[in-house]
Structure 1
Amino acid sequence: MHAIPLSVQLGILVGLLALSGLFSMSETTMMAANRFRLRHLAQSGHRGAQKAIALLDNTDKMLGVILLGNNLVNAAAATLVSVIALQLFGEEKWALGAGTLIITFAILVFSEITPKIIGATYADRLAPIIAYILTPLLRICYPIIWFVNLFAAAILRMLGLSLRPSAEASRLSPEELRSLVLESSNVIPKKHQAILGSLFDLNAITVEDMMTPRGNIEILDIEQEWEAVHQQLMTSHHSRLPVCRGSLDHLVGILPVRRLLSGVGSTEFDESALLAQVQPAYYIPAGTAVFSQLSFFQENRQRIGFVIDEYGEILGLLTLEDIIEEIVGDFTTSGTGTDNDLEWDEDGSIVVEGARPLRDLNRMLDLDFPLDGPKTLNGLILEHFQDIPEADVSLKLNNIAVEILQTQNRSVVTARIYRPVTPETPDSLYKEPVT
């Protein structure tokens, strides 16, 4: 070694530090790279991404070659520094100590921290490039890596750990995927982001959360006077009507109203002609997830179904349009007497129907009514009082002030909701109800 000029030794030392930095950067880059982005590039034919994915699928071997190279280079650098110190200062103990401190500082700054910061910052860009370096190194050093991994695998087995994570562990959960979508606002338009977010919610809610309650369903009672039936068919704004005898407890089926428009005015149009057009009813168990029901609608070629409880009693009505609007937002024309959009009045309150679903109120007014019990505001109020409330009574539901304005037939018809006080709510926009 004394025959080698000092300048060459210093040059070799710099080269060893650079190699150590390369291995350190490789380790951080490969572990920090976005695997989903790499898989997309690999599927598009990107050779570097394909090699990177192959390395990441064998993490134990990839880390083995990186750490093998890094430790060999660092050991060689430390030895070379000791040789240079002895050559310059002789057998002085302080020289060896100083050399140790210098090489530690150099490795820490130039071969560890700086390269790893670069690797973490530009991981997705560097991973396909580094894969071209690591792949041939792994082939060359494979026997050594295999031998070393025998001991690593034995230690992992003693600790009850697996050498490679299961496929399930590397998959994203729905919650993680939802967070990924919400954090991608710079590449996904806001409207598309809202649609994707709604899709994730479909598995968390049931048809009972979205259905039109039984009391709000317009029915065609063929037990009434025929003139009344005829008038209802002419004036109904629904394209399909449930046909029953007396009530929904005696449901006959679903009538596609549009098919009868041309024949309603005919003198030959009677009950038998109407019943000939009635289609069988489609029933949905109350606990069915909305996303599953969307698939069932498609498989059974249905667009409307009646939600039933465990005893077969009809609870409400769900349509394909209800699910689509839950995904993309309201787009159909509102029915008579209904309002799709809700906005706070200037005094910080709003009058709503008691039959309004709590999910709609939470979404449109940014409220926090509980959803694990009753589905409508009327149901929540009745549950709170455990009795039939009277008008002009105020209460707080989950810290939200509600004033009952009108009751009829054992239910709340209308109520006034007051905007909850928040740090962002000006005092001028909040009015406490009079109890």
Structure 2
Amino acid sequence: MDDTNLGLLFALLVVFILCSAFFSGSETGLMASNRYRLKHRAKLGERNAQRILGLLSQPDRLIGVILIGNTTVNTLVAMVATFIGIALASRFGVSDDVGATISATILTFVLLIFGEVGPKTFAANHPERVASLASYVLPALLKLFHPLVWVLNKITNALFRMNQGSHDRKDKLTRDELHTILQDVFLPTKHRNMLLGILELDNITVNDIMIPRQEVAGINMDDEVEDILNILRTTHHTRLPVYRGELNQTIGILHTRNTTRFLGQENVSKAEIMQFVREPYYVPESTPLQAQLLQFQKQKRRLGLVVDEYGDVQGIVTLEDILEEIVGEFTTNVADNHQDITPHADGFYVIDGSLGLRDINRSLHWQLPTDGAKTLSGLILEHLETIPDAALGLRLEDYLIEVMQIRDNTIKAARIKRVEAA
């Protein structure tokens, strides 16, 4: 074989290896492309993204044409390499079998580097660049090899039944997968926290965020009229539950905006106040916040009375409480403005025992456990498994706690400091 034919064989070998690299890289680049970014760009009218999505919409055809092309060029590479090996063997006086063996060994190494590992690594690092290039070539090959691809897919699907339900396949993310993606997505921290807060609503119940009944401000209709009017004049709440004797005997909810109609009058009677009381709205304590948010919207309500399985009122929940789970506290610096949390110079915080653990965690960016007790007092008592009869100190995970005040079998106040984990 003369040098011209040998040079032609080497040129064909390089071309076929480049084709093998193209098919290998195209497969990796197309499959590794971010489909959600492509969908966004396609909606903006970008032609490259539209072509790539068109290819990905029929993965069986796409994989079929890539494998047909890759298998074909690899076979041609092996044939050309064998011819080159035999030609060089005869030139150096070596048997054809030895030449073919040497060429096959070298070819395997070259194909692995330049036809498989190299192109696929590059495509994995730059998937959309490679997919964009492939989107110009592969549609033409799909038309050229359409009969062969069709037959190949029919036989493969019949043998392995891998295509069942493929027409109903949707690229949907689960809630947990979306939660994981949002952790790394490029968004301002506040916006990311709001989106994560929405996803967390189903994992939080009304019982987790309610205002306990001991802290509920309301109007007892058994009190004197003047006392009731003083409460209405001084309250900073927009809605107040109205009850007789105790919260379990709730009559309804009074919007303080309506009280302006009679607060300036003399000799106001309880009957006049009751004219503006709306019937109460009850909420089961185990209701997820996502469902309760929808119920507030459906019922046109902003406040609900939380009841347990026995129908006893445990507290109240408001629309604002749920919104704070999404957007955070409405104050600028919760630790400084929260009336139940008082910082001290030694790093301790004096905290009201009835304050909810979720409020403490949100205010101080702590991670006190919330899977059991809901208040600080409940957490300490749950950990001690007894009601202390005097002030004491304890360590709960990464938190030093000093019980300061105990009354009525509950902890009224405690000092807490977060320390580094051992």
Alignment of 1:40-51 (within 5 A): 40-51=40-51
What is aligned with 1:59? 59
What is the CA deviation profile of residues 323-357 of structure 1, one whole-angstrom value per residue up to 9, with x for unaligned ones?
Answer: 1112111115999x971795864433211011111
Distance 1:118 1:293, change over 3 A: same
What is the CA deviation profile of residues 104-160 of structure 1, one whole-angstrom value per residue up to 9, with x for unaligned ones?
Answer: 222122221221122111112332431232122123222222322344334434xxx
Q: What displacement does 1:15 show?
A: 1.1
- SS across alignment from 1:5: helix
Q: How many residues align?
A: 417
What is aligned with 2:276? 277
What is aligned with 1:32? 32
Task: Give the Cα separation in 1 of the matches to 2:364 and 2:102.
Answer: 69
What is aligned with 2:315? 316
Higher mean C-alpha deviation, range 79-88 or range 203-212: 79-88
What is aligned with 1:297? 296
Structure 2 gap segments, 5+ residues each: none
The one-letter code sitting in structure 2 at the alignment partner of 1:34 is N
Alignment of 1:332-343 (within 5 A): 339=338
What is aligned with 2:144? 140
Residue 131 of structure 2 is aligned to residue 149 of structure 1:
no
Task: Give the Cα separation in 1 of the matches to 2:333 and 2:151.
Answer: 72
Q: What displacement does 1:391 show?
A: 3.7
Task: Give the Cα separation in 2 of the matches to 1:98 and 1:328.
Answer: 68
What is the CA deviation profile of residues 206-241 of structure 1, one whole-angstrom value per residue up to 9, with x for unaligned ones?
Answer: 111111111110111121122211111111111111
What is the CA deviation profile of residues 72-105 of structure 1, one whole-angstrom value per residue up to 9, with x for unaligned ones?
Answer: 1011011011112222332433221221122222
Higher mean C-alpha deviation, range 212-221 or range 58-67: 58-67
What is aligned with 2:349? 350
Structure 1 gap segments, 5+ residues each: 424-435
Residue 123 of structure 2 is aligned to residue 119 of structure 1:
yes
Distance 1:4 1:147, change over 3 A: farther
What is aligned with 1:176? 177
Higher mean C-alpha deviation, range 169-178 or range 116-125: 169-178
Q: What displacement does 1:287 show?
A: 1.1
The one-letter code sitting in structure 2 at the alignment partner of 1:135 is P
Task: Give the Cα separation in 1 of the matches to 2:315 and 2:167.
Answer: 44
Task: Give the Cα separation in 1 of the matches to 2:139 and 2:345.
Answer: 67
Distance 1:172 1:344, change over 3 A: farther
- SS across alignment from 2:280: coil
Q: What displacement does 1:317 show?
A: 0.8
Equivalent residues of 2:340, 2:352 under 8 A apart? no
Alignment of 1:377-392 (within 5 A): 377-392=376-391
Task: Give the Cα separation in 2 of the matches to 1:403 and 1:146.
Answer: 75
Task: Give the Cα separation in 2 of the matches to 1:393 and 1:165.
Answer: 64
Q: What displacement does 1:261 show?
A: 2.8
Task: Give the Cα separation in 1 of the matches to 2:384 and 2:114.
Answer: 71
Task: Give the Cα separation in 1 of the matches to 2:7 and 2:238.
Answer: 90
What is aligned with 2:252? 253
Q: What displacement does 1:202 show?
A: 1.0
What is aligned with 1:71? 71
TM-score by length of 1: 0.88
1:107 to 104, 111, 114: 111
Structural RMSD (CA): 2.7
* Percent identity (aligned): 37
TM-score by length of 2: 0.90
Residue 218 of structure 2 is aligned to residue 227 of structure 1:
no
What is aligned with 1:88? 88
Task: Give the Cα separation in 1 of the matches to 2:342 and 2:64.
Answer: 61
Q: What displacement does 1:421 show?
A: 3.0
Equivalent residues of 2:9, 2:80 under 8 A apart? yes
Alignment of 1:382-421 (within 5 A): 382-398=381-397, 400-421=399-420
Distance 1:400 1:338, change over 3 A: same
Distance 1:340 1:200, change over 3 A: farther
Q: What displacement does 1:399 show?
A: 5.8
The one-letter code sitting in structure 2 at the alignment partner of 1:171 is K
Equivalent residues of 1:344, 1:365 under 8 A apart? no
Task: Give the Cα separation in 2 of the matches to 1:182 and 1:253.
Answer: 43
Distance 1:127 1:340, change over 3 A: farther
Distance 1:176 1:168, change over 3 A: farther
Distance 1:342 1:119, change over 3 A: farther
Distance 1:20 1:87, change over 3 A: same
Q: What displacement does 1:35 show?
A: 1.1
Higher helix fraction (1 or 2): 2
Equivalent residues of 2:398, 2:421 under 8 A apart? no
